[in-house]
């Protein structure tokens, strides 16, 4: 059975929407989801507070209540019928995210066994397919890469792209 490695943030968990919500709450400066292609979220806020993104994601609880990316649950459940599915997140980057991410997965993806959750630093994984929003995780990956669309990666053209989980289903199911 082929293995699929699936990223969390901006692939199944909407961290971008959470940042925008917190930013709007704290600064009362409108920031919406219309973000210029190829830019990171912090490039759309005033320079004197553009590091607030990193403060937010390092707070305990930031990752615990993220919204689920539409259709990810039903498609991943269907993928499990055909593939050996793993959730692979660079959770070590944000120390406080480990428990949040584990609990979030248990709540929203209870059908994914704990043995199929990999929290790591660098995503060096032995899989046949990887679905991620960060192309840096495709470097030296030997399998099929699916770049999940996020504003920061819209200018990247050298990888197969998926915009929704329905598109993932169309390609892999």
Whether 9 is catalytic is: yes
Which one from 7, 100, 132, 133 is the annotated catalytic residue?
A: 7
DSSP helix/strand/coil, 22: helix
Report the 10 Å Cβ neighbour count for 159.
14
Question: Rg (Cα) of the chain, in Å, rounded?
Answer: 16
Task: Spell out where 22-148 has E strands.
Answer: 67-68, 84-89, 117-119, 129-132, 144-148
Q: Helical H runs in 37-164?
A: 52-57, 72-79, 97-108
* Positions marked active-site: 7, 9
């Amino acid at each position: 059975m082929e293995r699929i490695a699936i990223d969390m943030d901006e692939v199944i968990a909407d961290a971008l929407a959470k940042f925008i919500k917190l930013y709007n709450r704290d600064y009362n400066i409108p920031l919406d989801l219309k973000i210029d292609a190829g830019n990171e979220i912090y490039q759309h806020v005033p320079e004197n507070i553009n590091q607030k993104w990193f403060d937010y994601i390092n707070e305990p609880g930031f990752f615990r209540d993220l919204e689920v990316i539409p259709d990810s649950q039903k498609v991943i459940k269907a993928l499990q019928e055909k593939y050996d599915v793993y959730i692979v997140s660079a959770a070590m980057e944000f120390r406080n995210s480990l428990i949040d991410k584990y609990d979030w997965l248990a709540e929203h993806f209870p059908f994914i066994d704990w043995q199929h959750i990999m929290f790591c630093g660098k995503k060096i994984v032995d899989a046949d397919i990887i679905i991620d929003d960060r192309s840096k995780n495709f470097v030296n990956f030997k399998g099929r890469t699916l770049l999940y669309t996020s504003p920061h990666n819209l200018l990247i053209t050298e990888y197969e792209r998926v915009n929704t989980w329905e598109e993932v289903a169309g390609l892999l199911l």
